[in-house]
Amino acid sequence: MMRSTFRRLTRGRWPAVRPDEQLSCREVGRLLQRFLDGELEDDVAVRAIVAHLDHCPPCELERDVYERISTSLAAGARPVDPDSLARLEAFGRRLADG
């Protein structure tokens, strides 16, 4: 309980997840974005989240919805204007060539 409270206050950064620790849905919810973005560097925490998701359909659904949102956003990213890019790359080469 105390661990969970401190982790909430430090936005999941402390204390670290223990290897035998079972995370609550609330804690998984707090770490889920970093987990999905590959920004969670703690392997123990990653394994604890995976173990939780495997046995918790509501959290698994939550993960699926957020993944779908991220995929949709990434797919909707407009390509950069190729003319702008070409002009800037040419500008950069001119700078490099002096």
Residues that bind another protein (CB under 8 A): 11, 33-34, 37, 39, 57-58, 61, 65-66, 68-70, 72-77, 80-81, 83-85, 87-89, 91-93, 95-98
Q: In this complex, which beta carbon is closest to another protein, that of residue 20 or of residue 97?
A: 97
Q: Smallest distance from the beta carbon of 63 to another protein, in angstroms?
A: 11
Q: In this complex, which beta carbon is closest to another protein, that of residue 36 or of residue 51?
A: 36
Give the type of residue at 81. D
Residues 39-64 as b or e (16 or more Cβ within 10 Å = b): ebeeeebbebbeebbeebeebeebbe
Rounded distance between C-alpha atoms, residue 62 and residue 56, angstroms: 10
